[in-house]
Structure 1
Amino acid sequence: MLKALFTVLLLGGVVSHQAYAQGVTVRTAPGTPGKFTELGQRPQMGWNTWNTFACNINEKLIREAADAMVASGMRDAGYVYLNIDDCWQGERDAQGFIHADPQRFPSGIKALADYVHAKGLKLGIYSDVGDKTCGGHAGSRGHEYQDALTYAAWGIDYLKYDWCNTEGLSAKGGYTTMRDALRAAGRPVLLSICEWGDNKPWEWAGDVGHSWRTTGDIYPCWDCEFNHGDWSSFGVLPILDKQNGLRKHSGPGRWNDMDMLEVGKGMTEDEDKAHFSIWAMMNSPLIAGNDIRSMSAATRAILTNRAVIAVNQDERGIQAWRFMNDGQLEMYAKPLANGEWALMFLNRADHARRYRFDWNSHALSDRVSNNSVDFGHKRHRFTDLWTGATGDTAKPLALTVPAHGAVMLHLSPD
């Protein structure tokens, strides 16, 4: 059936996923070009297999992860995408259509999608612009329209699209081809561009995908670079530092992606809280990467902190900026809807830091979003999003910020 439908696509028609799901071949007018703009209006939230399991994946794991996303409260906190990363692929058939690995996924991806959808979740999958993925499996080069049609037939909702084995290719061209293929297949799919920032996707990808990676891969450490030979992965602080100058490109439907979360993957609890706070303030997608089937209560509490998540998911979609620093203590501000603000005090140092923040001395002005606030002239109430402590800006704030930690405040005008 897919082969017949692909012929229709080649002839210039577009096949709706509703039609081929029912086994009916139809020809319709071509759809509106471009990405699915109704998707990605807030940074996407979900879970991905790679950080913990790499290639050790199978359908049993995916079903257990779906169950865990519901039982842990992650789904209800906003994590809706369950994403299968590399190594799910089997072989292409004689006509070039991709099939799942029959040993790892004997029931097929469509059956998994049905299971995930029945849990109130969405299913994501992975491919690559090149002819081989980073793991050496079949990429999508030369098969973009076939793969998009296959994903639509399976019920896929999200595509993480990587950049390995792409020598001589244009990043913008490669990702635009897949964008157009997804549109032609007819099923709305969020396109996550995993190009590592090599070709400055923030300058061209706003009309192509819904998010784009700004750096190489993340590593579960506070401040390190892990050298793999011809490439490196980075800890939390190096990734944060690479966001300098990028916030003007971020907004609803177009997010700077700082890579997946490493919460629950070996850092301290304070580091995990700071990591999650940074990603929330910077509007990075929140894609967990720990083993959610067996996570600790502390990890679950961090990942499902709805007040911190709300900052990430704020409808205005304005990325935070660093407005001052005092040695290794940095302060970030993020304008929110309804005249509200989020502030983060980030301690990069190896020791706790006490700090007295005088509200009267800090009038904030953001030229990128045209927002300003003078805490000395208008009193605001605040809540510490990790401890629940409350106060207001009528008197200076006495802070103790943990080593490798953060204090995150939500402020509302009186």
Structure 2
Amino acid sequence: MKRTLLTVAAIVCLAFNADAQISIAKGWKINIGDSPEWSSPTFNDADWKAANVSVPWEANGYPGHDGFGWYRNHVVIPTWLKEKAFLKDSLRISLANVDDRDEVFLNGKLIGRLGGAKGDIRTSGNWGPREYKISANDPAILWGKENLIAVRIFDRDGDGGMYGTNYKIGMVDITDGIAYDAGSDFWFGDKGLVGKTIKLTASNTDTFSGRLSVLLTDPETGGIISQQSADANFAKGRPFNFPFRVVAPQAKSYRLDYNFEDAKTGTTVSYTESTPYILTPPVSSKPRINGADVFAARPGNPFLYLIPATGAKPLKYKVDGLPDGLKLNPATGVITGSVPAAGTYPVTFTVSNLRGSKTKAFNIVIGNTIGLTPALGWNSWNAWGLSVDDAKVRTAAKTMTDKLAAHGWAYVNIDDGWESAARLPDGRITTNSKFPDMKALTDYVHGLGLRMGIYSSPGDATCGGYLGSLDHELQDAQTYAEWGMDYLKYDWCAYSKVAPRPDLTALKKPYYVMTEALAKLNRDILHSFCQYGMGKVWEWGAQVGGNSWRTTGDIEDTWQSMSGIGFRQDAAAPFSQPGHFNDPDMLVVGKVGWGPRLHNSRLTFDEQYTHISLWSLLASPLLIGCDMGQLDKFTLNLLTNDEVIAIDQDALGKGALPTVKNANYQIWVKELKGGAKAIGLFNMSDSYQTISLDKTSPELSGFTKFRDVWRQQYMVVSGKTLSAKVAPHGVLLLRVEK
């Protein structure tokens, strides 16, 4: 599904009391359909299928299922939970994420529904984490005995079911009001110095005092690197601030454990995170030309391209061989105009400053196929959701110009939430008050040398309930062209009312209709299909005019979501080609939150390296989903490594395929232009492991140069194997050449 709201605390990391809860992540069973007797503890579910509740029900063997399904779990609720608790009033059941709507039963009694919302299960409620409380004296609880938890779910579209990591039963406690506010950014000093300030906060009326300890350990060896502690006193509106600094011996991630022991209850409240580490080398003051080797436009249509280049400013730009109809601004590197005649035009870029000059061969292709390399840009959804507005988009554009455009990032895309409540009398769509002048906003973005994107749905409404394009496709396309748009994300959403059980023809139809509308414009607009991979869209997306197509449901910022999506792209990978790319959804690095409140990505720093590496190997559109106004140093490190970006932007346009795929590690290989390869060695386990490749293996046979792409340095490989220690959920990204 496309979610309309994600209920995650902004920068607050909720604490937990490990001594007063039990895990219920195992033992779940699933059945598709709907029956009231499935809530009963006496119902025999012996023939139900075992469920993996860390992933959606599609991954449990029910691909494409929308509608009702049930989960059941038989759980002993021990009496010691109540006996050990400081407060003994209420029991809490946490059930990770529900997609989309739920009713939860304990031994046949309904104890919660729709995350607390009101309404019908088919139409109300929303995707997100679930937590329900019940009185400890309620006779529905069988203390010390087996209890039946049954969860009824209705899924609208896309991914469905119940999935995530937080499945627990515990007692409500006064320390539930304690949270770690770990949202401040890490700072970096010389020689491995790293630090930040954390806060202990209280949301209830209690005053807390006790001892806070911070432990830094090496996840590879288990050795203790640093221990710090302090007396902590805090209350609502009066947080405890604890600044700390540590010296990280190596450029890798270390484990940070925060433990607060409350003096009153003896309860320990804990939170764990990891330290960031920077691998991308600093940008040289000498000129360097970055980005793809090719850019395309249709004959006679407006052309806009900013030569991406780094180096000490001011930079001077020059282009030899520029075709008639195009002109270069030598001070900004922006090429504009239009080329009437189809053809491939080889040109040479030259960028110079006081430290030297650099040249690069480049092809300008004028023809029917545009978007020859995956889109590089930003999309508003994963940060702002429906709270996006003109100011946030301008901030994203200005930040892209200042920090990212020199590395090839070019698109600034508005997602859902810009549309007015009703069309104009002539049927034209217009903007709501958050976007007072869309044409002026687009002109601003174009004036920076960047390109602009917008969002709609083939249904009568978008996922957020705004106006869709149904029966207004050409009219909307013409409006987008008048505003100056360069990109359209077209999201299935309410079209499910038009085609509730679509066959292949019905799946193709709305996208073909919009493709035809876009083809009638005197403007190039990339067409991005967002329909969650239905009908194996990768097999036909190019035929229907897609420059990219979503292959999956929505991503969230967890390892289960990101890895579950990214490492399941093998079937789609062979269909990636110049102008037509698989899209496993937007990036979840930096500060995200689906608006308006944000939090740091819940992916560990190792997992974020994996995220960017895998998406680049897959030749995916790279669409940043964070608050561009708060780009921290680590996130910039992820987004400005030109050798990593070059893998994504390789002119062959091929997606990587796995050559080794098991529970412990995976190896994915991407063919590159000129005979080179990009190889990702991914550690799928929760501990460090050594991953090795024989030099005579198919991945390495014939290659003699091995480059660590993140560190931008060649590896010295002696002997018959290439071996590397890879962090948990981490990656070694290689480029190999002969």
Partner of 1:368: none
CA apart distance, 1:213: 0.3
Mark the CA change 1:355 to 1:248 in structure 2 (over 3 Å): closer, same or farther.
closer
Aligned mates of 2:713, 2:301 — CA distance in 1: 50
> Does the 8 A contact of 1:47 with 1:82 survive in 2?
yes
Partner of 1:405: 730
Where 1:55 maps in the other structure, the secondary structure is helix
Partner of 1:294: 630
1:244 matched to 2:596: no
Partner of 1:95: 426
- Alignment deviations for residues 11-46 of structure 1 (CA, whole Å, 9 cap, x no partner): xxxxx988xxxxxxxxxxxxxxxxx84321001110
- What one-letter code is carried by the residue in structure 2 that aligns with 1:400? K
Mark the CA change 1:392 to 1:338 in structure 2 (over 3 Å): closer, same or farther.
farther
Aligned mates of 1:238, 1:325 — CA distance in 2: 13
- What one-letter code is carried by the residue in structure 2 that aligns with 1:179? T
- What one-letter code is carried by the residue in structure 1 that aligns with 2:626? N
Where 1:100 maps in the other structure, the secondary structure is coil
Aligned mates of 2:492, 2:703 — CA distance in 1: 49
> Does the 8 A contact of 1:220 with 1:262 survive in 2?
yes
Q: Which moved more, 1:190-199 or 1:378-387?
A: 378-387
> Does the 8 A contact of 1:37 with 1:253 survive in 2?
no
> Does the 8 A contact of 1:127 with 1:161 survive in 2?
yes
Partner of 2:667: 331
Of 407, 419, 422, 1:77 maps to 407
Partner of 2:533: 197
CA apart distance, 1:201: 1.4
1:188 matched to 2:524: yes
- Alignment deviations for residues 375-397 of structure 1 (CA, whole Å, 9 cap, x no partner): 2xx34211101223423555322
- Alignment deviations for residues 177-203 of structure 1 (CA, whole Å, 9 cap, x no partner): 111111112211000000101222112
Where 1:98 maps in the other structure, the secondary structure is coil
CA apart distance, 1:308: 0.6
Where 2:430 maps in the other structure, the secondary structure is strand
Q: Which moved more, 1:392-401 or 1:182-191?
A: 392-401
- What one-letter code is carried by the residue in structure 2 that aligns with 1:123? M
CA apart distance, 1:266: 2.9
- Alignment deviations for residues 35-76 of structure 1 (CA, whole Å, 9 cap, x no partner): x8432100111000000100111111111111111112x112
Aligned mates of 1:105, 1:290 — CA distance in 2: 20
> Does the 8 A contact of 1:379 with 1:393 survive in 2?
no
Aligned mates of 1:291, 1:187 — CA distance in 2: 29
Partner of 2:508: 172
Partner of 2:474: 145
Of 443, 450, 453, 1:124 maps to 453
Where 1:192 maps in the other structure, the secondary structure is strand
- What one-letter code is carried by the residue in structure 2 that aligns with 1:295? L
Higher helix share: 1
- What one-letter code is carried by the residue in structure 2 that aligns with 1:286? L
Aligned mates of 2:611, 2:397 — CA distance in 1: 24
Aligned mates of 1:105, 1:189 — CA distance in 2: 20
- What one-letter code is carried by the residue in structure 2 that aligns with 1:71? D
1:277 matched to 2:613: yes
Of 192, 196, 212, 2:549 maps to 212
Aligned mates of 1:408, 1:316 — CA distance in 2: 19
1:311 matched to 2:647: yes
Partner of 1:322: 658
Partner of 1:46: 377
Partner of 1:8: none
1:266 matched to 2:597: no
> Does the 8 A contact of 1:341 with 1:411 survive in 2?
yes
Aligned mates of 1:310, 1:89 — CA distance in 2: 36
> Does the 8 A contact of 2:661 with 2:667 survive in 1?
yes
- What one-letter code is carried by the residue in structure 2 that aligns with 1:54? G
Aligned mates of 2:735, 2:415 — CA distance in 1: 35
- What one-letter code is carried by the residue in structure 2 that aligns with 1:58? D
Higher strand share: 2
Mark the CA change 1:252 to 1:392 in structure 2 (over 3 Å): closer, same or farther.
farther
TM-score, structure 1 normalization: 0.83
Gaps of 5+ in 1: 1-15, 19-35, 224-234, 365-373
1:383 matched to 2:702: no
Structure with bigger gyration radius: 2
Partner of 1:363: 698
> Does the 8 A contact of 1:263 with 1:303 survive in 2?
no
Runs of 4+ in 1 over 3 A off after TM superposition: none
Q: Which moved more, 1:45-54 or 1:321-330?
A: 321-330
Backbone CA RMSD of aligned residues: 1.6
TM-score, structure 2 normalization: 0.47
- Alignment deviations for residues 261-303 of structure 1 (CA, whole Å, 9 cap, x no partner): 0122231111111000000001111000011211210101101
Mark the CA change 1:61 to 1:379 in structure 2 (over 3 Å): closer, same or farther.
closer
- What one-letter code is carried by the residue in structure 1 that aligns with 2:580? R
Partner of 1:3: none
Aligned mates of 1:326, 1:387 — CA distance in 2: 26
- Alignment deviations for residues 350-381 of structure 1 (CA, whole Å, 9 cap, x no partner): 11112333212x024xxxxxxxxx62xx3421
- Alignment deviations for residues 294-315 of structure 1 (CA, whole Å, 9 cap, x no partner): 1210101101111111001111
- What one-letter code is carried by the residue in structure 1 that aligns with 2:698? A
Where relative contact order (Cα < 8 A, 6+ residues apart) is larger, the structure is 1
- Alignment deviations for residues 227-254 of structure 1 (CA, whole Å, 9 cap, x no partner): xxxxxxxx11110243132122111111
Aligned mates of 2:608, 2:368 — CA distance in 1: 32
Gaps of 5+ in 2: 1-299, 303-366, 500-505, 591-600
> Does the 8 A contact of 2:478 with 2:521 survive in 1?
yes
Q: Which moved more, 1:245-254 or 1:278-287?
A: 245-254
- Alignment deviations for residues 329-354 of structure 1 (CA, whole Å, 9 cap, x no partner): 11111111111111110011111112
> Does the 8 A contact of 1:274 with 1:404 survive in 2?
yes
- What one-letter code is carried by the residue in structure 2 that aligns with 1:363? P
Of 256, 259, 273, 2:582 maps to 256
CA apart distance, 1:79: 1.2
Aligned mates of 1:326, 1:195 — CA distance in 2: 29
- What one-letter code is carried by the residue in structure 1 that aligns with 2:371? G
1:109 matched to 2:441: no
> Does the 8 A contact of 2:459 with 2:498 survive in 1?
no
Aligned mates of 2:376, 2:550 — CA distance in 1: 15
Aligned mates of 1:258, 1:37 — CA distance in 2: 25
CA apart distance, 1:123: 0.5
Aligned mates of 1:50, 1:295 — CA distance in 2: 16
